[in-house]
Chains A and B, each alone.
Chain A
């Protein structure tokens, strides 16, 4: 891995060889400490990972280093230079660039325009387009991305949009790149490509601060790993000396036990609760599947393979061209999500903030939204009945909220996700489709969500789990379906269900007629 010997590499950082030293940094938000006396050193030309549960302070630390948040106490030093960062602009001027969890691209501008946003080559106010394209080509070649400068950024996949952000960071001649969950939205082969880029950044003498939930990724990429818990540094260790177990132990203050709950297979004669035949919709081609009572079926595949599209077609949220969906024997035709929910099909959408929650509204309102009819009479909501009903499903789904009236925006990612499960539980569906149920969720909550899914299946629900994390699909499901280019191309059960087989099916061009 990268060493400091590469300081003289052409195109290296503005201040090669300068370590970033964070000393005694504390930050409180409205009296609540987010960081307490945090000190660490990011050595130049290394990848330094920050791990911790949601709310442990990783993102706050990243924001302090990138100037978004000013610390209450402590200093940040780059080489001999003590930095006073009052805004992201100050940080940029010092060569500190952030690639945030939520991408900051302008969808209506082209790739090249996005890369040079705010730093356009210009003469007397007029953008020099040819010059910008020439610089773009050079840059793209240097990092090995194949992106046309003229594409509209809004039409790119998330992975490609991320590449745009990375190119922007590199075009600014960054010394320090902060990446917050860079691979959360990527498929595996894209993740691999990003990993290569991160290594090459370090190889070119730049420091990368990597914030990630994926411990295997952290262990593979980082030179040093700092574990945070409750806003404090627990320890900083060389990656070579860490294992997933020691990291989790540091993050939680205890060891987690096994990652996945024990599988309870469905009864062999369990009835079929969801039956999909020849379903064709936008991004979905001729898909058939069955889910039995108590069964957890995993839906694997690369991002863009049509998994979410299939889920939304089954849920009748997308126009269906052909095919039938039967719920416990009754055909579901048209009527949209409203009808699907009435018939006993619930969906937990892939992106909880955009498609799931009313972030400004209370826990109570978010949970009861789908089944207000249970707690109202003639349209009049009974506060007492609503409170009782919501309290009971929150208990089942182990949501931790200060009060029923707390806005969900104030909850952690894990608890927000559990709110969506609570809403689904309140619907008491026959079939639940959970799309990326643990995206952006901390380790402890992940396990709680796995337990929930398993429990729901044990109670007789049929569950479809869609996830980009292969481990998750394999760890939870009784049966795995693999999708590629809108089709279900393979099915695995029992001992055949392993990472290699699923990956092979997801990538392979010849697996078209295998399995199903």
Chain B
């Protein structure tokens, strides 16, 4: 069979895709809409029902508070897409806040940033090596390391709260204003944008998707799956470090117990609500960012409307189930 003449020309991406392509495109955009539409609806509802919501100060405040979460969730998306999961980000965040806090307290603001981020990178490297070299399930591996890291963080401060003064130059790291927006927001926006492009448009991103989608196939196709996985964990650790530094500078205090499992799970919730599959092999950093902000809007809205915070958690839980159900449904449609 010389099938060349029978074959439909593969339609280019830009030039009108075929029926299958159109369906895939629709499904994809629909999945993006999956988080985007509720986000817009919630935003509009809050704008109408709550007077203070739409104030610039409130909106910037939300972004400022979410800066560290956005960083960590963006990096966590890469880990998840590569087929891993990083539960240690909360503990790493706690460790890096106290490292940054102690160094800033001793008049070393530059070192505080560098060492804290480096500590995050090292934790990520260790996580990555445990997962790939020892072949331990990433859930268990990062659960285990999070205990170790939390202990180390306590050791750094001997359990004390570190309080910094607003006059130190370290304060400027996250609070310097540029175009009336604090540097914390700028940093997280740039970080999210870089990771989004890294995942969507680079060879590294393709390899991440392949490693998570089918590790065996990726390896036989020449992808260095273990290397890729380690790198995603390193990025995740680094992001937790950056988040820790940002919040230490923002809040001027550091405590070993900050972050913890609460942060790890909230970040994971943001990623999953954003539609990134927990099974790996697909996901989007942009959708994660929307997911994280969506959860933040719920919290903000509940506060502004004076609703019992109790309901906030219930709503978040139900949302997670809805998001995952949607993911399962979309996958089944495609098979």
Contact = CB atoms under 8 A, between A and B. Distances in A.
Interface of A: 315, 317, 336-338, 340-342, 347, 349, 354-365, 368-370, 372-373, 376, 379-381, 383, 387, 391, 394-395, 398-407, 409-410, 423, 427, 444-445, 447-448, 451
A336 B11 contact: no
A401 B24 contact: no
Given A338-B222, A360-B281, A379-B202, A404 B10 contact: yes
B204 A336 contact: no
Given A356-B220, A387-B13, A409 B21 contact: no
A369 B223 contact: yes
11 contacts: A315-B220, A354-B216, A358-B213, A360-B334, A376-B203, A380-B201, A401-B10, A403-B11, A403-B24, A406-B21, A451-B1
Contacts of B205: 381
Contacts of A369: 206, 210, 218, 221-223
A355 B1 contact: no
A357 B217 contact: yes
Contacts of A395: 4, 7
B39 to A, nearest CB: 25
**Closest CB pairs A-B (n = 3):** A403-B21, A402-B20, A402-B18
Interface string B188-230: 0000000000000111111101100110111111111000000
A463 B222 CA distance: 19
B202 A358 contact: no
Interface string B97-135: 000000000000000000000000000000000000000
A400 B6 contact: yes
Nearest to A443: B1
Given A381-B201, A423-B221, 17 more contacts: A337-B219, A338-B224, A340-B222, A358-B210, A360-B213, A362-B24, A368-B206, A369-B210, A372-B207, A381-B202, A387-B13, A402-B17, A403-B20, A406-B20, A406-B24, A409-B334, A445-B1
Interface string B4-16: 1011101111000
A342 B18 CA distance: 35
B11 A404 contact: yes
Given A381-B202, A381-B203, A451-B1, A358 B281 contact: yes
A407 B24 contact: yes
A337 B134 CA distance: 20
Contacts of A445: 1
Interface residues of B, number: 43
B228 to A, nearest CB: 11
B213 A361 contact: yes
Report whether over half of chain A's contact residues are helix, strand or loop; otherwise say mixed.
Answer: helix
A400 B7 contact: yes
A406 B20 CA distance: 6
A365 B206 contact: yes
Given A398-B4, A409-B334, A403 B10 contact: yes
A319 to B, nearest CB: 14
B11 A402 contact: yes
A357 B20 CA distance: 19
Nearest to B6: A400
B10 A358 contact: no
Given A338-B224, A409-B335, A403 B216 contact: no
A376 B202 contact: yes
B165 to A, nearest CB: 43
Given A337-B220, A360-B282, A405 B25 contact: yes
B3 interface: yes
A14 B56 CA distance: 76
B2 A451 contact: yes
B209 A347 contact: no
Given A376-B203, A402-B21, A448 B1 contact: yes
B318 interface: no
Contacts of B201: 380-381
B214 A373 contact: no
Contacts of B10: 363, 391, 394, 399, 401-404
B194 to A, nearest CB: 12
Given A398-B4, A400-B3, A407 B334 contact: yes
